[in-house]
Structure 1
Amino acid sequence: MLHHAGLLTRSEGDPVGMVNPDGAGDILIVCEHASRRLPASVGNLGLTNDVLKSHVAWDPGALAVAERLSAAFDAPLVYQQFSRLVYDCNRPPESPGAMPETSEIYEIPGNRNLSEQERDARTEALYLPFHRRVEEVIEARVAAGCGTVLVTMHSFTPVYFGKQREVEIGILHDDDARFADAMLSACDDLDSPYRVRRNEPYGPADGVTHTLNLHAKARGMLNVMIEVRNDLIADEAGQARAAGYLEDLLKQALQKSS
């Protein structure tokens, strides 16, 4: 475990979390925005507790849904254990969104005027270990002859810049739409209880497909990013309902893609 430039202490543990690392199912699940935890070294980034509990700091409910899917599919799950406000692991180091100075309507004072050394420390402590772990899992699965679909799990706020979002589940993709197409086709077959849309509320132009492209594109792996509106997964009942629906979608998509 690496600790760079004093960003993380040993007592804060590994920045990368794993569930079911030896899972042999057909999918690998990644949750880049699983946690709102901040390293002690960055304080509160100049933010109130209410902001740090909100979607600005993490994707509420996403990890809980990902854990249910991990169990359903015997899937390895890799997740980030620190807030995306310190480093957003779904953004490359050169992206302004990797260490955002603003998030929606909120200024992030602790991210203003970061030095090159501070940016490098965050990249080395959080981004690089996270994506190394994803790559290690993929390489181990390739070596074992396991076919793999990369699924990244996210949630989004129902109100953004004061506007209500009607979409409830987003099925996102970049250039490779094969698995997203299969999921959307399965959605039609299942008579979805949710309002499901392609590349909403975000799409490739918003820079949200970094993890998919980094790990799946070069290998030709099937991949998809799932977004669930976070008010729908705010409690265990909602998480179970959404996970059950996504399990059905993913199972049908796997059959259609085989």
Structure 2
Amino acid sequence: MGQTIASGAPQALSKDWTPVRVTNPNGAGPCIILCDHASNYVPVDFGTLGLRDNDLQKHIAWDPGALGVSAVMSRLLDAPLVESCVSRLIIDCNRPLDAPDLVPSLSEVTVIPANENLGDAARRERVELSHKPYHAAIEKLVRERRAAGLPEPVFVAVHTYTPVYRGVERPWHIGIIHDADDRVAAPLIAGLQAAGRYEVGINEPYSPADRVYYTLERHASAHGLPAVMIEIRNDLVATAQEEKGWGELLSGLLNDITKGPSMGIAGTANKGI
């Protein structure tokens, strides 16, 4: 465990930039942890996107706390962790290529000047620089696990969200997002509710209908593999200790869930990932 592989940056970009990182690639646990919005890093090639430094610390640029929770889960579940290494303001790896907010020009109430009126060629360049390598890394990891004779994976995407969005308070401590396949979500929701300490949003504050489920649709749903998206309110993971606590809680629940018979993944056919 603990090995880290960083993909090579495209030749056009500075050497300090890498689009995706895979930690613990040889992890033999049943889960693959995905962190689509792990970083607020903007490569030097893109300047500041016309933003102030403090804008890049806000949730519009990343999911603060998500990577810390993901790292704890990766360690405890012996799970590979795939993280996007650049800000979602460059390109959102959790959006389909035709999504209006693939390269957002407005995030909540903040205008992203460098993304306004972005031409098709510039959008395609960003796809090649970050979006494509991120998803290619996930596909490669699945192929390698199959070659090693490991069971088909359970995908777990970890996100965080802001407590107040456009002036509306969000009361949930954690949201569990899922599509029609609730093999992971249903027992996870039940486990969190049974603890009696958490306000659990079910397909809140987002749902797949909001087009926020792209990574899991592409790598899990399209291939009949179980998956769940976890959204934690970011004021609850503001410290390393809080990240650790949530990571331990979720790992314990997922460990029990993935040992159960409801996963039904042993016979899943390889469908061309």
* TM-score, normalization by structure 2: 0.89
Q: Secondary structure at the match of 2:42?
A: coil
Q: What aligned pairs does 1:1-258 form with structure 2 within 5 A after superposition?
A: 1-3=8-10, 6=12, 8-9=13-14, 11-147=15-151, 148-189=153-194, 191-256=195-260, 257-258=262-263
Structure 1 spans left out of the alignment, 5+ residues:
none
Deviations 1:127-180 (A, max 9, x none): 000000000101111222322100011000011101211011111112322211
Aligned residues: 254
SS in 2 for 1:87: coil
User: Residues 183 and 252 of structure 1 are in contact (CA less than 8 Å); yes or no, is this contact kept in structure 2?
Assistant: no
Q: Is the 8 A contact 2:160 2:234 kept in 1?
A: yes
* Greater CA drift, 128-137 or 170-179: 170-179
Question: Are 2:9 and 2:19, in contact at CA under 8 Å, matched by a contact in 1?
Answer: no
Q: Is the Cα contact below 8 Å between 1:38 and 1:44 reproduced in 2?
A: yes
- Matched to 2:140, the amino acid is E
Q: Distance in 2 between matches of 1:135 and 1:90?
A: 15
1:34-71 deviations in Å (ceiling 9; x for gaps): 00000112111111111111101000000000000000
1:2 is displaced (CA, Å) by: 4.8
Deviations 1:4-48 (A, max 9, x none): 6x3x22x22421111101111010001010000001121111111
3-state SS in 1 of match to 2:223: coil
SS at match of 2:220: helix
Q: Cα distance 1:248–1:192, how it changes in 2: closer, same or farther (>3 A)?
A: farther
Partners of 2:238 and 2:42 in 1: CA distance:
21
Q: Secondary structure at the match of 2:91?
A: coil
Tell me how far 1:245 sits from its aligned partner: 1.4
TM-align CA RMSD: 1.3
Q: For the residues of structure 2 that align with 1:3 and 1:78, how far apart are their CA atoms?
A: 18
Cα deviation, residue 188, structure 1: 3.5
TM-score by length of 1: 0.94
Contact 2:17 2:43 in 1 (8 A): no
CA deviation map 1:196-254 (0-9, x unaligned)? 12111100111110001100112211100011000000101211111121112212322
Contact 1:156 1:228 in 2 (8 A): yes
Letter in 2 for 1:211: T
Q: Partner letter of residue 3 of structure 1?
A: P
Aligned to 2:266: none
% identity of equivalent residues: 42
**2-side partners of 1:133 and 1:149: how far apart?**
16
Runs (4+) of structure 1 exceeding 3 A deviation are: none
Using the TM superposition, name which of 122-131 and 192-201 deviates more.
192-201
